[in-house]
Amino acid sequence: MPSNVEIKARVTNMAELTKRAKELSGTEGELLQQEDTFFFCQNGRLKLRIVQGGQSELIFYNRPDQAGPKLSEFHKTSITDSENLKKALSLALGVRGEVRKTRYLYMVGQTRVHVDQVDNLGNFMELEVNLENGQSPEEGQAIANDLMQKLGVKEQDLLTCAYMDLLLKEKSG
């Protein structure tokens, strides 16, 4: 399975983070409106990502809940009929919840830098260092740590869990 090293953090200064991401990528970033529907799943996580005006994907992934860089293994499948698939999976597995976000994507080398505004949660940053064949998770962690510093992300802002988990905590707490 493909894998990446991931970091997620809360953002206190969105303008500064966006400025640094633009400088590092040399681009204005790509705007993505995303709706992720999470389904109950025995192993790992399963979500249907619907991208407004873009390609929808069914994504399975497995990742530990820990602060800082973490290895994530995933499998993606392109979807052409997302609404019918969403209905079938909802009926078969049940819906755990939904996450809606406005995301700016910046590519910095082999890393996807996401600057996210998540509905009902706030502002976040996510790094996904896509590991190349033969590249170790430690090499990916070094890249992620370096980018974290360049973007001004502080250790105390790191998150251990997914947006879905944060939304469920908000709802129950």
Task: Count how many Cα atoms sit within 13 Å of the Cα of residue 133 in the half-sphere of its side chain.
Answer: 0
Q: Compute the residue count for the chain.
A: 173
Task: Compare 43 and 24 and report the one with higher pLDDT.
Answer: 24
Residue 173 binned pLDDT confidence (cut-offs 50, 70, 90) = low
Closest C-alpha among 100, 104, 121, 101 to residue 15: 104
| CA distance linking residue 97 with residue 39, whole number of Å | 7
Cα–Cα distances in angstroms (integers) from residue 133 to residues 49, 116, 137, in the given order:
26, 28, 11
The mean pLDDT value of the chain amounts to: 93
Report whether pLDDT(156) > 80. yes
Dump pLDDT digits (tens) for 92-134.
Answer: 999 999 999 999 999 999 999 999 999 999 999 999 999 999 8
Domain ranges of the chain: 3-172
Class of domain 3-172: mainly beta
Residue range 145-151: average pLDDT? 96
pTM (two decimals): 0.89
